[in-house]
Amino acid sequence: MQVTIDIQVSPETVKEQWTAEVANTFIEEAVAESGLTPFAHRAVEDLPDRLIFFQMIAESHVSGHLMREHGLGWIDVFSCKPVNALAIGKIAQRHFTRSGDGVRVRVLGRGLLPQGGTDGAHDSGANPQGQAH
């Protein structure tokens, strides 16, 4: 399955909040919450205009690209086993936003296409707090 997390916040709020330390903590908590198995060295690149991170997991990977200048971020969790998408979304919300809004979580199922060719994609229909967006 793939969990996508889109983040949109005011650029002024992220300059001090989007740091390598925060990215490392997010990865540790998201991986632990999901029962995923990290391996290999975690990569976190804290550049002046963006924060990029990547963690290989036995089940696939966790990655993120956060653009400070625009207050936009995209996090992906790919896993061959089910994970709690809303819990991961709440972890992202806690670490990458101040007001608790500006986060959208979506799930893309993986597997063979069913009869009729539907791709299995669906929106969670709620932000991590369970409110419709």
pLDDT value of position 128: 46
> What are 8's strand-pairing partners?
72
Evaluate whether residue 34 is within a structural domain: yes
pLDDT value of position 14: 85
Alpha-carbon torsion (126, 11, 2, 79), positive or negative: negative
pLDDT value of position 112: 64
Evaluate whether residue 132 is within a structural domain: no
Evaluate whether residue 20 is within a structural domain: yes
pLDDT value of position 5: 97
pLDDT above 80 for 126: no
Evaluate whether residue 128 is within a structural domain: no
Rounded to an integer, what distance in angstroms lies between the CA atom of residue 86 and that of residue 34?
11
Q: What is the pTM of this model?
A: 0.81
CATH code (residue 22): 3.60.90.10
Rounded to an integer, what distance in angstroms lies between the CA atom of residue 93 and that of residue 70?
17
Domain that holds residue 44: 2-123
Evaluate whether residue 100 is within a structural domain: yes
Tens digits of per-residue pLDDT, 23-75? 999 999 999 999 999 998 899 999 999 999 999 999 999 999 999 999 999 99
Rounded to an integer, what distance in angstroms lies between the CA atom of residue 53 and that of residue 42?
8
Tens digits of per-residue pLDDT, 96-125? 998 767 899 999 887 766 666 555 555 544
pLDDT value of position 12: 84
Evaluate whether residue 131 is within a structural domain: no
In a 3-state reduction of DSSP, which class is residue 115?
coil
**Cβ(38)–Cβ(31) under 8 Å?**
yes
The backbone torsions φ and ψ at residue 103, rounded to the nearest 5 degrees and listed phi first, read -125, 130
pLDDT value of position 96: 94
Number of structural domains found in the chain:
1
Evaluate whether residue 41 is within a structural domain: yes
